[in-house]
């Protein structure tokens, strides 16, 4: 075919149903001439694509992929991901491809094929063949489909992937099986084994806060609340967000500094949190085991001074060198609100965040000094 397909290269799903800020509808378009391809690409490159996964902010499209147009006679869905229940890889597939698999699973669950894989023995030819037959591949395509399934499993294992999704996997009238669209999610903690893949990471597609967190070796996820959280340990971070919600607040992020953070990492964490204009208060919740509380305190004080932070900071510290940490905070010239009890710290963070929200709406400054 002389026709081509132009696909916006953005890290988001739902491209086909998305819309560019340029007015172009759809991030996957067919062009029937080189001039038309150029026109479409011009409306994609340099513009943000908004899909159901990106939210209103959209994602900037810096490049497009142009490929030959194919004419599939049947479309399938195929994915390999990790399954907690079987504690290993699992194939999830369907003979209803090219559409949202969530819709298929909800409306016709019997159309979903699931095949757990023993990671110690791998995917055998017989198992791959069984999956291909369950999907309903035509007998003349079955060998090629089986081979494709086995190769996709190799891609999954050899690259430490968390997910390899093909939607659609197709067969055409000439006896060929194609993977026409792919989404691959890699285990970032294993990227040190795959420098060639790590070098391909497109930082421009990611939230600048996520980029800064990765560079500082911090675990960060941005949310849409008003209370920034700085915690050590994923479990404690999640419980801290829960208790904020319990008292009527809304967390602005998940941020785990880990067990061996330095004062500089704490400062970087504050930079990331405070870069969110929606943050009206910061809650620090540290249980010092491996992590020393005095190191956290030094980082908090340094960040407050360097960033000239105006928003209130509520700190709850317990554990190793906690008395040294409290002394450092007390001796600092900054209004850092200290609490020993997590419940009281969360209540205080919610209260001061609401006050700052009201003050910002009224365009007035507010200053905090204990006792409130």
Give the catalytic positions in this structure.
77, 165
Cα–Cα dist 125/119, whole Å: 14
Burial class (CB in 10 A: 0-12, 13-18, 19+), 45: middle
Give how far Cα 7 sits from Cα of 37, 152, 246, Å.
Answer: 11, 22, 44
Contact 79, 165 (CB under 8 A): yes
Cα–Cα dist 180/205, whole Å: 22
3-state secondary structure of 166: strand
Which of 288, 261, 285, 265 lies closest to 338 in space, CA to CA? 285
DSSP string, 179-246: E--EEEEE-GGGGGG-HHHHTT--GGGS-HHHHHHHHTT-EEEE-SSSEEEEESSHHHHHHHHHHHHH
Which of 50, 55, 61 lies closest to 23 in space, CA to CA? 50
Cα–Cα dist 23/56, whole Å: 14
Cα–Cα dist 103/207, whole Å: 29
Strand partners, 66: 6
Helix or strand holding residue 229 (H, E):
strand 227-231
Cα–Cα dist 116/119, whole Å: 9
DSSP string, 68-89: E---EEEEEEEEEEEETTTTEE
Which of 229, 151, 152, 220 lies closest to 183 in space, CA to CA? 152
| Number of C-beta neighbours around residue 224 at 10 A | 11
């Amino acid at each position: 075919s002389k026709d081509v397909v132009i696909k916006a290269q953005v890290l988001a799903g739902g491209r086909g149903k998305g819309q560019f800020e340029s007015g172009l509808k759809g991030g996957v378009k067919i062009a029937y001439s080189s001039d038309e391809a150029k026109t479409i690409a011009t409306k994609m490159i340099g513009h943000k694509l908004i899909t159901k996964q990106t939210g209103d902010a959209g994602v900037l499209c810096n490049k497009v992929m142009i490929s030959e147009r194919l004419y599939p006679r049947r479309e399938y869905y195929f994915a390999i991901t990790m399954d907690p229940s079987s504690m290993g890889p699992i194939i999830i597939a369907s003979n209803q491809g090219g559409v949202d698999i969530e819709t298929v699973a909800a409306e016709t669950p019997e159309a979903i094929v699931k095949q757990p894989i023993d990671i110690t023995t791998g995917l055998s030819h017989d198992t791959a063949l069984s999956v291909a037959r369950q999907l309903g591949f035509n007998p003349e395509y079955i060998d090629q489909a089986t081979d494709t399934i086995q190769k996709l499993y190799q891609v999954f294992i050899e690259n430490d992937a968390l997910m390899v999704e093909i939607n659609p996997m197709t067969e055409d009238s000439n006896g060929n099986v194609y993977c026409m669209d792919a989404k691959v999610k890699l285990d970032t903690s294993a990227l040190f084994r795959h420098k060639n893949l790590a070098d391909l990471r497109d930082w421009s597609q990611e939230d600048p806060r996520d980029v800064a967190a990765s560079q500082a070796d911090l675990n960060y996820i941005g949310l849409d609340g008003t209370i920034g959280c700085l915690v050590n340990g994923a479990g404690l971070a999640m419980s801290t967000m829960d208790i904020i919600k319990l008292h009527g607040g809304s967390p602005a992020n998940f941020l785990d500094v880990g067990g061996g953070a330095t004062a500089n990492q704490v400062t970087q964490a504050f930079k990331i949190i405070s870069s969110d204009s929606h943050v009206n208060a910061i809650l620090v919740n540290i249980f010092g085991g491996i992590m020393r509380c005095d190191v956290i305190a030094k980082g908090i004080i340094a960040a407050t001074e360097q960033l000239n932070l105006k928003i209130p900071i509520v700190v709850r510290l317990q554990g190793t060198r906690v008395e040294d940490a409290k002394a450092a905070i007390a001796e600092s010239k900054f209004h850092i609100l200290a609490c020993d009890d997590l419940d009281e710290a969360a209540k205080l963070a919610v209260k001061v965040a609401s006050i700052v929200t009201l003050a910002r709406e009224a365009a007035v400054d507010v200053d905090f000094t204990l006792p409130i």
